[in-house]
Amino acid sequence: MLYFRQQSFKNNIFVKNSKHIWLFVLVVSLFTLSCKHEPDDTANPEPPADECDTTLVTYNASVIPILQNNCYSCHSGTVPSAGLDLSNYDQLAFVAQNGSLMGAIKHEPGFTPMPDGLPKLSDCDINTLAKWISDTTFTDPDIGQECDPDTVYFQNEILPLLVSSCGVAGCHDPETAEDGVILTDYTSIMQTADVRPGNPEGSDLYEMITESDPDDRMPPPPNQPLNAEQIARIERWILQGALDNSCENNQCDTLNITFGEHIFPVIQNTCLGCHSGSVQSGGILLTNHSQIAEIAASGRLLGAIKHQNGYSPMPQNGARLNQCIITQFEKWISDGTPNN
């Protein structure tokens, strides 16, 4: 009887120990499985072949997004890496035509592999860029485009306005970049001012220019706020997709030039941000006809807008005015700067 009880006790111990052993083995197995690391294939996912459509590749819709996501962080802005600004169409076209762009992104021998220090672009992105290069004659896509009165053009209207009003020294030029915002080029405006195409109300840029509190408004006092027409123009540009577009007026009128129709609108859009109110860059005011005529008669106005040696190029931080506008200024000045 005692033996039976002892044997039964041992059997119970064995059963209990066996359960503990199996439980321990199960836990270890689960832990081991949970610690296995499968290769991470999500770092640069390849889209399914049927989702990579290269039948309709365009510069604005197809190429720019690839460059923005992979290249602009190094190759744009005021000091682009290796002096190559891929947000500049002419520079992009140059490296596309000479084979450097494809050689770099395909990591071919003899080229510096790009993106620098990162995995190669997906096959879809590479094929998209290759398709664009093979289909492109490399003329600026906006050169020669006739201006549509119902369209707001970034290069013609929005950029000069923002550069003149906000992208100046001490505010939102590249050197100052107050609050991290730069308003002197398309890429910086889209990224740092959080412009959301089609959604003005959700864009920081629009919110700041329509702010009711003067302390939060852009431009800040003592600068003059943007007027209703200028704000509406920026709103319409965002609603139309916030494109980096431009146009040329192929019907350039250089005969019937008036101050009210041709001269003052340009001054208002490109100069008043620096030359009005208590803001008098260079001690120059350009708020009315007499002030503008005086500067024009001295030769300083034409020297500045034509970027001639010895004059500060204007608009400040902006591109030179197109030749049609410059010719109109020359005609107005040669006519005696009439207030017409």
The neighbour count for residue 70, using CB atoms within 10 Å, is 19
Ordered alpha helix ranges (H), the chain: 2-34, 64-70, 89-97, 100-105, 123-135, 159-165, 186-192, 204-209, 228-239, 264-270, 289-297, 300-305, 323-334
Query: For residues 313 and 282, is the Cβ–Cβ distance under 8 A?
Result: no
pLDDT of residue 250: 67
| DSSP class per residue in 231-260 | HHHHHHHHHTT------B-SS---SS--II
Query: For residues 264 and 254, is the Cβ–Cβ distance under 8 A?
Result: no
pLDDT of residue 257: 92
Residue 1 makes CB contacts below 8 A (sequence gap 6+) with none
Question: Burial, 153: exposed, middle or buried (Cβ in 10 Å; 0-12, 13-18, 19+)?
Answer: buried
pLDDT of residue 246: 82
Give pTM, 2 decimals.
0.52
Q: Residue ranges of the chain with pLDDT lower than 50?
A: 1-44, 47, 49, 140-143
Closest CA to 78 of 162, 171, 227, 183: 183
Strand partners, 146: 248
* Structural domain spans, the chain: 58-135, 154-239, 259-334
pLDDT of residue 333: 93
pLDDT of residue 102: 92
DSSP reduced 3-state for 134: helix
